[in-house]
Amino acid sequence: MARPLSRRTLIQAAAVTATTTAMSSAATGRAATAPGASAAAPDVPAAWTVRPFGLEDVTLGPGVFAGKRRLMLDHARGYDVNRLLQVFRANAGLSTRGAVAPGGWEGLDGEAGGNLRGHYTGHFLTMLAQAYRSTGEQVFADRIGTMVGALTEVREALRRDPAVLSVGGRFGRAAEQVRGSHQYVDLPAAVLGGAPALTLSAWVRPAHDAAWARIFDFGDDTTRYLYLAARNADGVPRFAVTTSGPGGEQGLVGTAPLPLDEWSHLAVTLADGTGTLYVNGTAVARSTAMTLTPAALGTLGNNWLGRSNFPADPVFAGAFEEVNVFSRALTAAEITELQSRRAADASTGRGDLASYAFDETAGATFADASGRGLDATLRRTWGAPSHPGFLAAYPETQFIELESMTASDYTRVWAPYYTAHKILKGLLDAYLATDDDRALDLASGLCDWMHARLSVLPKATLQRMWGLFSSGEFGGIVEAICDLHAITGRAEHLALARLFDLDRLIDACAANTDVLDGLHANQHIPIFTGLVRLHDETGEERYLTAARNFWGMVVPHRMYGIGGTSSGEFWKARDVIAGTIGTTTAESCCAYNMLKLSRALFFHEQDPAYMDYYERALYNQVLGSKQDRPDAEKPLVTYFIGLTPGHVRDYTPKQGTTCCEGTGMESATKYQDSVYFAKSDGSALYVNLYSASRLTWAEKGVTVTQTTDYPQEQGSTLTLGGGRAAFTLLLRVPSWAGTGFRVTVNGRAVPGTPAAGSYFGVSRTWRDGDTVRVSLPFRLRVEKTPDDPALQTLFLGPVNLVARESATHHLRFGLYRDAGLSGDLLPSLTPVAGRPLHYTLDGVELAPFSEGTEDPTHAYFRRWEPRVVFGGSDSGVANPARGDGTTLLDEIWAGAPFAGKDALVARVRSTVRAWVSDGLLSAADGDTVVRTARQATYAP
């Protein structure tokens, strides 16, 4: 499908983060590039020695990645984006169009009061942008346009004084206060007028059942006040008046809750020591001990509809109509009359102290019809309109409060700059995918706002902020700001990126000092991807050195077999893996961000270890974090992946919309982003991953089609198409690959000995139809945890095999009994017919970790080789062990691969001799072991 050409000068800076390739700016002097431009175009950072391709340049073929992506694309097509926009519109006081906010972290009722709301919308925008770039389907561009248009309206509304949201009422129009808008009605100080008697009358339509939300609240503070609450702690209306705080309240309490989303009439009369509470014309409470009146309260400073003098109380959510305040106690008959008509049409007439019909359809002022001229004003609890450029689903207050915090408290402030990053990144991706100027304007304005806020703070304040766990977390905001700077070229944007430097962490990692123990993992991983981008924009080596060293502190020292990291979101001591395994290991966001960092570092130095890690985490944790079933409401992605025995993955954590579900949506729409890279000068093409795909390399005028069912297939076929082109094809040789890695071109073997953990180059002038076949035999191997070598995880090539078993203790497996001369442990497993990559061992099913099922799994097992067995022949000799846990069989098979049986027997003989000499094995048992090894039959 044809794609729209961009008018922008683009470097797709998200190439170092997620998916994109070419983003630049006239301000930086880089040439204009269309979204579909090739990776080898000369408009990426000069520091990159290789360049990625765009998502539109690489098409996924059939296979496991396409299947997982299809599920996520269906979710992206079908989910109502108005639900995502609900919290933004509510915060701005706009109509939410009847949409219900998503659950979990994204609504007002989620964890910590929804203090992270808005982050998920940014993830969703990125997913849509990636989906559009990958497929060209107009539905994704249309959804982006809807969201960007709505966010533009939201920002404009936040810059204005609040305006009435007029809705249909009981008799005419009503004023709605959307939940989450923080709006209330401010009445003049003279509203009660010191009257000795009083009637409060109002039609209300509550929209939420929060306790203590006020309909009326007149007071100075929490000592002297008069209020009518829609619900008390028991859920029923309550009126109270006091001059001595809660302990001195004289009150009236209703008998039943007000129904939600229905109009109810409430009235309170107070005169001559008697107070009465009416609900829909019926007296539900009466007291003859109500000695306090407005006259006893005097003139009060805070006279509000919808807001409480107690700061912790919620703002009323719902609609107001026909609010009247009388200086006398209406009779029961008069209260009854107000059930069927407006006060103006009733015998009561309008309230003589104040009267608001709420017929206004615009503006922020409500006319008082009492004759006293006490017009009311619509206000926000957080004060004046927001500063220019501000865009969020909550007020600026979280950002402001963070600046004075000295200790973390996510119930007060929960990572506002993290949320800002997600929104910023989503807008940038939307702009790069659709060329919508509004998205760029929103992104640029948000950064302008952050710069105006942060640039005036002392450095010590910034360092304290960024060091706070959770509250000060800012995610990948630095890389996103650098990406914006590459578009705008504006100095303040680059200056903003540097304001997030957490110097003590950067300096320690630049010095290669490991300080990660005890740090929150996902708070810090994206910092280093940002540092790589800062290096690109500034040339400062300290940033790149810190990122490189940090990566080495995580891989492999804090890495689980599946590629994930963190335990309970935090890092523990270096090389403690077995000791950290639990139900909350391997947070999915951590794997997502480690992939981004690995990718960014590879652009600067082509260490194959980065792509080895990329394959490990992508083919195992990332694939396995997505459930293999459709769902219209949830992306079905894990938060944590527990690695304890018998763990069942939770694909709907915390009611949905967590950070990991957000990154999971992104991961599932960019699986192809690192399959191919091009050398900066166009002289070589890196094939990093073996994945069914088709690359269009526009600069060379060629296509590369990779046909494979990898990892079910142990190899791949690459077919060149298009014209003649000279370049070197660099094929990754995984670090786990054995001597069987072979390459043929048009059926002829390519000479050379590929080394594991390297790239194997094939240089030639390629022609249309040239075919390259890569043979990549898998071996079954174990990886031992460094702190408990007997606790191991099982790999077949790149695939982590897990046991499916409900037991909650570590299973015990032996694997040497049928090991082949190559050292391959696979002969000890029994294949499951018709199910590739599925095996049984001792009656237990083994399956790829990547399968997104809800089966109980064992990612780690206890290695148990009680006797010395060769080729299925049991010697009857106990398998001895050294003090460090290394067994005799471990030491023998460490010499694999063996050229033949004689070489294996020689290894057995020499090892036995050493163990006998060390007193770990008797001579007689040693002879038996050698004899058994000599007589056994082995697989290759």
Residues 261 and 284: their CA atoms lie apart, in Å, by: 21
Mutual angle of helices 659-667 and 119-135, in 10-degree steps: 10
Residues 823-838: pLDDT tens digits? 999 999 999 999 999 9
Residues 529 and 204: their CA atoms lie apart, in Å, by: 51
Q: What is the DSSP letter of 887?
A: B
**At 494, which amino acid appears?**
L
- DSSP structure string for 450-500: HHHHHTTS-HHHHHHHHTSTTTT--TTHHHHHHHHHHHH--HHHHHHHHTT
Residues 185-243: pLDDT tens digits? 999 999 999 999 999 999 999 999 999 999 999 999 999 999 999 999 999 999 999 99
- What is residue 43's predicted lDDT score, i.e. its pLDDT? 66
H or E element, residue 761: strand 758-766
- DSSP structure string for 132-177: HHHH--HHHHHHHHHHHHHHHHHHHHHTSPP--EEEE-SSSEEEEE
Given its phi and psi angles, is residue 187 left (phi above 0), alpha (psi -120 to 50 degrees) or beta? beta
Q: What is the DSSP letter of 267?
A: E
How is residue 217 written in tokens? 């609240």
How is residue 725 written in tokens? 């082109």
Q: What is the DSSP letter of 567?
A: B
How is residue 300 written in tokens? 């009060």
| Residues, the chain | 940
Asked if 391 and 89 touch (Cβ cutoff 8 Å), the reply is: no
CA dihedral of 298, 301, 305, 307, whole degrees rounded to 10: -120
Asked if 819 and 827 touch (Cβ cutoff 8 Å), the reply is: yes
- What is residue 32's predicted lDDT score, i.e. its pLDDT? 30
CA angle 513/481/687 to nearest 5° reads 70
- DSSP structure string for 304-335: EES--SSTTSPPP-EEEEEEEEESS---HHHH
Asked if 716 and 774 touch (Cβ cutoff 8 Å), the reply is: yes
Residues 90 and 81: their CA atoms lie apart, in Å, by: 14
10-residue averages of pLDDT along the chain (940 residues): 34 38 31 32 78 98 97 97 97 95 90 94 98 98 98 97 96 96 96 96 97 97 97 98 97 98 98 98 98 95 97 97 98 98 97 98 97 97 92 96 96 97 98 98 98 98 97 98 96 98 98 98 98 97 98 98 98 98 98 98 98 98 97 95 97 92 98 98 98 97 98 98 97 94 98 96 98 97 96 98 98 97 95 97 97 98 97 96 93 95 97 97 97 96
Residues 797 and 737: their CA atoms lie apart, in Å, by: 7
**At 533, which amino acid appears?**
R
Of 718, 728, 720, nearest to 774 (Cα)? 718
Residues 684-736: pLDDT tens digits? 999 999 999 999 999 999 999 999 999 999 999 999 999 999 999 999 999 99
Q: What stretches of 272-407 adopt beta strand conformation (E)?
A: 274-279, 282-287, 302-305, 318-326, 354-356, 365-366, 376-380
**At 137, which amino acid appears?**
E
Residues 320 and 713: their CA atoms lie apart, in Å, by: 66
How is residue 786 written in tokens? 């460094």
Residue 540 CB-density burial (10 A; 0-12 exposed, 13-18 middle, 19+ buried): middle
Helices (H) and strands (E) in the chain, counts: 22, 39
CA angle 716/721/724 to nearest 5° reads 120
Residues 614 and 595: their CA atoms lie apart, in Å, by: 6
Q: What is the DSSP letter of 113?
A: G
Asked if 858 and 646 touch (Cβ cutoff 8 Å), the reply is: yes
H or E element, residue 705: strand 702-707
- What is residue 655's predicted lDDT score, i.e. its pLDDT? 84
Residue 688 CB-density burial (10 A; 0-12 exposed, 13-18 middle, 19+ buried): buried
Which residues sit opposite 59 in a β-bridge?
A: 694
CA dihedral of 424, 426, 431, 437, whole degrees rounded to 10: -50
Asked if 415 and 475 touch (Cβ cutoff 8 Å), the reply is: yes
Residues 682 and 727: their CA atoms lie apart, in Å, by: 7
Q: Name residue, tokens 């195992």.
A: 620
Residues 810 and 790: their CA atoms lie apart, in Å, by: 11
Helix (H, G, I), strand (E, B), or coil: what is residue 96? coil
Q: Name residue, tokens 């200056």.
A: 495
- Adjacency order of strands within the sheet including 758-766: 50-52, 676-679, 684-687, 725-733, 758-766
CA angle 259/261/266 to nearest 5° reads 55
Residues 319 and 170: their CA atoms lie apart, in Å, by: 10
In whole angstroms, how far apart are CA 56 and each of 4, 53, 134, 433, 693?
12, 8, 5, 10, 12
Asked if 522 and 470 touch (Cβ cutoff 8 Å), the reply is: no
Residues near 156 by beta carbon (within 8 Å), at least 6 away in sequence: none
- DSSP structure string for 181-230: S-EEEEPPTTSSTT-SSEEEEEEEEE----TT-EEEEEESSSSSEEEEES
- DSSP structure string for 674-693: TSEEEETTSSEEEE-S--SE
- What is residue 738's predicted lDDT score, i.e. its pLDDT? 84
- What is residue 172's predicted lDDT score, i.e. its pLDDT? 95
Residues 382 and 93: their CA atoms lie apart, in Å, by: 13
- What is residue 122's predicted lDDT score, i.e. its pLDDT? 98
- DSSP structure string for 624-673: HTB-SS--SS---B-S----STTB---SSGGGS--HHHHHHHHHTT-TTT
- Residue 874 φ/ψ, nearest 5 degrees: -90, 120
